[in-house]
Structure 1
């Protein structure tokens, strides 16, 4: 039985297709285009590398801290839940959630800041655009086309899941030139759900990890407007539970509150807006998937709290500085000694200076945390992040 999508959902039967025609002979199994996109992401090397890429803690010693892979899986779980309730396409939503962090370099935002500086005279670096570079050219497992040849809707969603892109960088502009993605418009609701699910996941799961690591003061957490009502409700409901178990329940309850708030606000906007097609969603003047005004305000305040108390914690900053040193050292090493690049990367090394620098950054950006440290230790010298 065919799934009954909302009229403004992304319907695989009406996909705009792929850049390269694959022909009927390339279809394996009873899967629609968005299911195939999802499966291509799951089977990609870039997805596997997320297992060893930083979420909050660099090369975490504890098996219980999250990495980019587990974060992406958690985002996908939240995204599918929201998409199902709103009668959107769950497969496209899941694929976007799973792929949204593929472009992160080693050591997360610390590594990204280094690569931005490395490409300051070559157009800069952006992890979101780099995700699309990976999927459209850098990873090419198929014999007849470069990249994974994902659908237009998948590429559009990755390019714009955070909203319209008014000033695309060089990487995104090149992709848009070959397969125009209507960057100035809003993306599908599936992409908007993926972006909101990312916020819900990392707000709560980074809090969970920060508390587990003992880096965040719990008494300060529960004074935050985003958290305080949930904590009071949980504490009253389970007055005899230990603090450890109450915190676990707090995280679950908080995710539920944020999901329900986004569903209520999105339904309200859809009722007021009354879109009839996905084109209406794309041409709308604002996001359709959103938190309520109060939740959005409190969530922004909570993000500021997390940056001050966790992401810029004094215990993490020295490690972040050393991680940045590793990435900058590797970029400098390959600029001066391109013969140290793997053979296939040497063979494709451009002569043009700008393209050459981008090529080297592409290689470093694809590294996992542990591989970057291994290469640094092998080719530069002994180094300890801790």
Structure 2
């Protein structure tokens, strides 16, 4: 039987919504946080994640992860951790599902290009853009802009990586309209979402890297922790194929990390004397995280992944093409707003920085394939070298 911890977020004690509460019984008996989760799932921005880069740009293969499948995997890990800690599972799931909604096409390459395009207009930050999309741009309701998510949900998205000392312009504007207490830590549900993101991509990127041939079993054996686990798997399944045993390795890694987070987080909670969600926010440090040993192991893994996968020469070349596509789109729309769709053109501000930021809003909402299509329409040719798997 599930028992809610005293330090869990309570939907009955939510700080409310920016534009007020709706009729609680209008569309079924759901908690505040269940409504947040459902609004994310039903949003256009969430659906677009199925065609946005996770590791590989616009992959042709059906089995590679994209932002949507990654977000679903993060949510699965987050729910497991939240339930074990007695946290609100619905809020945790909603945060996990929404955490990457602000990513532009082509992942971090697209973000770099928009950051450069907006260098004189406040820059671009995908996390702040997540809040901008959910609070202003994704607007299915007649009465107000945005999805009108709960304060607890928005706070968690804003601060899931910790307190925000210097808020980017997009987040600063939203915080001024609906203050999110940016200088404190977020709820444990938000902290769980953040660590679940790390666990998911640390391990699933290994899986995709193996599938694409950028990583090999020999590469993985360079890491002592993975080599130790692999030898144990070989001993346990001597007749198993390497393909299946590698999947066992990835699953085992996820399990090790989840168990480590649970043990470490429980210990931190006890040592901090936390008894309420307010105590969590006032603790002055993150309560959910890896042990020092696992943290050191994870740093080695990340360094390995950058060297072997993220900064692989083919990946670097593909990212450059992606940046060029985004830069070309921004330059084209800024130079000739008539190229924008009629609805975007109609609301395009005349002054800066609002004009450049609105153009960036349009581009950031694109999927990989739509950005490729628009580039081809504007230039008359498809970008070469944009797919490497």
**Which shows bigger deviation, 363-372 or 314-323?**
314-323
Q: Secondary structure at the match of 2:294?
A: helix
- Which residue is 2:258 aligned to? 259
**Contact 1:112–1:125 under 8 Å retained in 2:** yes
- Which residue is 1:24 aligned to? 23
- Map Cα deviations across residues 13-52 of structure 1 (whole Å, 9 max, x no partner): 1000101113427731010000000000000000000000
In 2: Cα distance, 1:306 partner to 1:369 partner: 23
* Deviation of the 1:237 alpha carbon: 1.4
Q: TM-score, structure 1 length as denominator?
A: 0.97
Aligned length: 385
- Which residue is 1:45 aligned to? 44
Unaligned runs of 5+ in 2: none
- Which residue is 2:355 aligned to? 356
In 1: Cα distance, 2:24 partner to 2:235 partner: 60
* Deviation of the 1:238 alpha carbon: 1.2
- Which residue is 2:191 aligned to? 192
Unaligned runs of 5+ in 1: none
Q: Secondary structure at the match of 1:21?
A: coil
**Contact 1:234–1:250 under 8 Å retained in 2:** yes
Q: Secondary structure at the match of 1:104?
A: coil
- Map Cα deviations across residues 320-344 of structure 1 (whole Å, 9 max, x no partner): 1111111000000000010111111
Q: 1:29 to 1:107 in 2, by over 3 A?
A: same
- Map Cα deviations across residues 99-157 of structure 1 (whole Å, 9 max, x no partner): 00000000000000000011111111000000000000011000001100000000000
User: Where does 1:307-346 land on structure 2 (aligned, <5 Å)?
Assistant: 307-346=306-345
- Which residue is 2:132 aligned to? 133
- Which residue is 2:202 aligned to? 203
**Contact 1:156–1:181 under 8 Å retained in 2:** yes
In 2: Cα distance, 1:157 partner to 1:232 partner: 40
In 1: Cα distance, 2:230 partner to 2:199 partner: 17
Q: 1:26 to 1:112 in 2, by over 3 A?
A: farther
User: Where does 1:70-81 land on structure 2 (aligned, <5 Å)?
Assistant: 70-81=69-80
- Map Cα deviations across residues 251-284 of structure 1 (whole Å, 9 max, x no partner): 1111000000000100111111120110110011
In 1: Cα distance, 2:165 partner to 2:95 partner: 21
- Map Cα deviations across residues 133-188 of structure 1 (whole Å, 9 max, x no partner): 00000110000011000000000000000111111110010111111111111100
Q: TM-score, structure 2 length as denominator?
A: 0.97
In 2: Cα distance, 1:362 partner to 1:226 partner: 42
- Which residue is 1:91 aligned to? 90
**Contact 1:226–1:302 under 8 Å retained in 2:** no
In 1: Cα distance, 2:239 partner to 2:136 partner: 56
